[in-house]
């Protein structure tokens, strides 16, 4: 058998699995998005509507735009905060950084928790009566002690963002530590001897060489932020009202709770579009790095 044929045969199972579990559902969802698609109305899954569902989302549903808005803010905040914190921690923890391994082991812990668990534990921590933060503020800053964090729209979003940032920092820190380790120490030391201050060494030498890894981190985290669901579901269930309703949650709500599968599918497809861009960018960065 020729090497090439064998190569294709070997990846074939993987391709099949991806097709059955990812591509086919996508295609089916695309089809459903053009139907009436109500779970409680027999036959409606084959009842074609044209672009009606999409138009409905765009022009008749403030809740859709709300969830777009929430998702956008949520993504911007979580990506920004996680990246900045993870980078700071990575600089402290990297070989030659100021902290070392024991701290590293401790830090990975949050990543070992499932997002749903993070959601639940944060819900308890922010409970206004017996939560950790209630107790904490009771001592440090009493006026904040009895705030109902999850009942206030802005604060609730802040808590959701915080829980996510908390959960994601460890993994991204590890990725960035790896990235920092691949920045040649020689170049950093050369800059120090050349007369650069700590900040200039970082800005002129470390950061530019870390840029490809940083880009991967930002893209990867954006993908995960865009599709956040389980944490929101467990922590606030989208509330209060729809203040923390992300797109995924909105899709789930309409599809599973209200049975509007056709409409949900159309919103889901609207979400696929930015995802495809991000995934493409991600693949480009990862493979460009591998090429070098």
Partner 1 sequence: MAEIKLNNLTKRWGDFIGVDDQSLHIKDREFLVLLGPSGCGKTTTMRMIAGLEEPTAGEIWIGDRMVNDDLPKDRDVAMVFQNYGLYPHMTIFDNIAYPLKVRGTDKSEIRPRVEKAAEQVELTEFLHRKPKALSGGQRQRVALARAIVRTPKVFLMDEPLSNLDAKLRVTMRAELKHLSRALQITTVYVTHDQIEAMTLADRVAVMKNGIIQQLGTPDDIYNNPANLFVAGFIGSPAMNLINGSVTDGMFVTTGGTRLVPVKSPDREKAILGVRADDMHVHEAGQGDIDVTIYAFENTGESTLLTVQWGKQRVIARGDRHLRKDQDDVVGISLNQDHLYLFDPETEDRIEM
To partner 1, the closest distance from the beta carbon of 197 in angstroms equals: 6
Choose between 157 and 205: whose C-beta lies nearer to partner 1: 205
Among 24, 146, 189, 277, binds partner 1 (CB under 8 A): 189
DSSP labels, the chain: --HHHHHHHHHHHHHHHHIIIIIHHHHHHHHHTTB--BTTSTTGGG-B-TTHHHHHHHHH-HHHHHHHHHHHHHHHHHHHHHHHHHHHHHHHHSTTSSS-HHHHHHHTHHHHS-HHHHHHHHHHHT-TTT-HHHHHHHHH-GGGTT--GGGSHHHHHHHHHHHHHHHHHHHHHHHHHHHHHTS-HHHHHHHHHHT--HHHIIIIIIHHHHHHHHHHHHHHHHHHHHT--HHHHHHTTT-STTTT--HHHHHHIIIIIS-BHHHHHHHHHHHHHHHHHHHHHHHHHHHHHHH-
To partner 1, the closest distance from the beta carbon of 189 in angstroms equals: 5
Residues 238-267 close enough to bind partner 1 by CB under 8 A? none
Choose between 3 and 186: whose C-beta lies nearer to partner 1: 186
Choose between 200 and 227: whose C-beta lies nearer to partner 1: 200
To partner 1, the closest distance from the beta carbon of 206 in angstroms equals: 11
- Interface mask toward partner 1 for 193-232; x: CB under 8 A: xxxxx--x---xx--xx-----------------------
Which pair of tokens denotes residue 280?
């493409």
Choose between 187 and 279: whose C-beta lies nearer to partner 1: 187
Choose between 146 and 189: whose C-beta lies nearer to partner 1: 189
To partner 1, the closest distance from the beta carbon of 222 in angstroms equals: 24
To partner 1, the closest distance from the beta carbon of 205 in angstroms equals: 6
Total residues at interface with partner 1 (CB under 8 A): 17
To partner 1, the closest distance from the beta carbon of 210 in angstroms equals: 10
Which range touches partner 1 (CB under 8 A), out of 107-115, 160-168, 192-200, 213-221? 192-200
Quickly count: other Cβ atoms within 10 Å of residue 193's Cβ: 7
Assess 52 for contact with partner 1 (CB under 8 A): no
Choose between 25 and 208: whose C-beta lies nearer to partner 1: 208
From residue 196, how far is each of 53, 186, 204, 208, 263 by CA, in Å? 58, 14, 9, 15, 57
Quickly count: other Cβ atoms within 10 Å of residue 205's Cβ: 20
To partner 1, the closest distance from the beta carbon of 270 in angstroms equals: 38
Among 12, 103, 181, 190, binds partner 1 (CB under 8 A): 190
To partner 1, the closest distance from the beta carbon of 292 in angstroms equals: 9
Give the interface with partner 1 as residue ranges (CB under 8 A). 184, 186-187, 189-197, 200, 204-205, 208-209
């Amino acid at each position: 058998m020729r090497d090439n044929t064998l190569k294709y045969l070997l990846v074939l199972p993987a391709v099949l699995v991806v097709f059955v579990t990812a591509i086919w559902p996508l295609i089916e969802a695309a089809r459903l998005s053009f139907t009436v698609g109500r779970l409680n109305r027999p036959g409606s899954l084959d009842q074609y509507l044209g672009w009606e569902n999409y138009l409905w989302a765009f022009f008749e549903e403030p809740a859709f735009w709300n969830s777009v808005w929430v998702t956008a803010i949520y993504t911007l905040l979580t990506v920004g905060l996680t990246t900045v914190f993870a980078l700071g921690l990575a600089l402290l923890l990297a070989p030659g950084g100021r902290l070392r391994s024991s701290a590293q082991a401790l830090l990975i812990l949050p990543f070992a928790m499932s997002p749903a668990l993070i959601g639940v534990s944060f819900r308890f921590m922010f409970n206004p009566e017996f939560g950790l933060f209630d107790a904490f503020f009771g001592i440090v800053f009493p006026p904040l002690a009895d705030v109902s964090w999850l009942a206030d729209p802005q604060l609730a979003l802040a808590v959701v963002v915080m829980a996510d940032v908390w959960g994601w920092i460890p993994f991204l820190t590890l990725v960035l530590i790896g990235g920092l380790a691949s920045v040649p120490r020689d170049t950093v030391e050369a800059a120090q001897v050349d007369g650069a201050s700590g900040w200039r060494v970082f800005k002129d030498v470390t950061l530019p060489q870390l840029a490809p890894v940083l880009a991967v981190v930002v893209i990867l985290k954006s993908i995960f932020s865009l599709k956040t669901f389980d944490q929101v579901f467990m922590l606030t269930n989208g509330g209060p009202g729809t203040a923390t309703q992300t797109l995924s949650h909105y899709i789930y709500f309409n599809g599973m709770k209200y049975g509007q599968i056709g409409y949900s599918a159309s919103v889901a497809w609207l979400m696929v579009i930015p995802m495809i861009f991000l995934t493409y960018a991600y693949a480009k960065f990862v493979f460009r790095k591998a090429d070098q």
